Amino acid sequence: MTSAPETKLLQTAQRLFCSEGIHATGVARIIREAGVARKTLYDKYGSKENLLRAVFRAEADMWFRWFDQDLPGTGADARGRILYLFDLLQHWFESGSFFGCVFINAVAEHEKEGGWVRGIALDHRRRINERLLSLVVEAGVEDADLATEKLSLVIDGAIVTAMVTANPSVAAIGRATAADIIDHALLGRAH
């Protein structure tokens, strides 16, 4: 059974927006590679912009699956789950369909002052950092807010570096850096 046109469009757009860029991807190519009529795209999504919003939602869902299902499923302690997040990142980088984070990429190629895209990316970032923070707090870190900001920065750095270098193993660099951050913060507590 072949997926519904709506799903096919979403998956094709997700792939093309990330691998080729959003502006560089015309609707003609999306519908051709999705094997779908032009009218169907506009019946389902109304505009290219709304299709992009759907891609945003899809990638956000991936992150929430990580936090709400995969991480708890490990049974590890908070520190272990934070580090396991980087294993999930590596898995993403290795998937063959990784060409950067669609939020970051979208901000990069849209107007940064007054545009709607940056607002959506900020929302996403805020929600991710909430989840991160609760892990950091559970790990018993001293200055949890600072450690969370550090980890968030490392995650973004790993994503961008993986996009530029096309080398999935940068996730391990991120993981080691995260360990430095956490262990330094835990040391500060003991002392």
Partner DNA sequence: GGTCAAGGAGACCGATCGGTCTACAAAAAT
Partner DNA sequence: ATTTTTGTAGACCGATCGGTCTCCTTGACC
Tokens 């990316």, residue? 121
Does residue number 153 form part of the binding site for its own copies (CB under 8 A)? Answer: yes
Min dist CB 93 to its own copies, Å, is: 12
| SS percent in the chain: helix, strand, coil, step 5 | 75, 0, 25
CA distance 84 to 155: 12
Sites for DNA among residues 36-75 (CB under 7 A): 36-40, 42-44, 46-49
Sites for its own copies among residues 61-100 (CB under 8 A): 99-100
Does residue number 105 form part of the binding site for its own copies (CB under 8 A)? Answer: yes
Neighbours of 90 (CB within 10 A): 19
Tell which one of 40, 74, 134, 161 touches its own copies (CB under 8 A): 161
Quick check: 43 and 36 in contact, CB under 8 A?
A: no
Q: Classify the C-alpha dihedral 34-39-45-51 as positive or negative.
A: positive
Does residue number 31 form part of the binding site for its own copies (CB under 8 A)? Answer: no
Where does this chain bind its own copies (CB under 8 A)? Answer: 18-24, 99-100, 103-105, 107-113, 118, 121-122, 125, 146, 149-150, 152-161, 163-166, 170, 173-174, 176-177, 180-181, 183-184
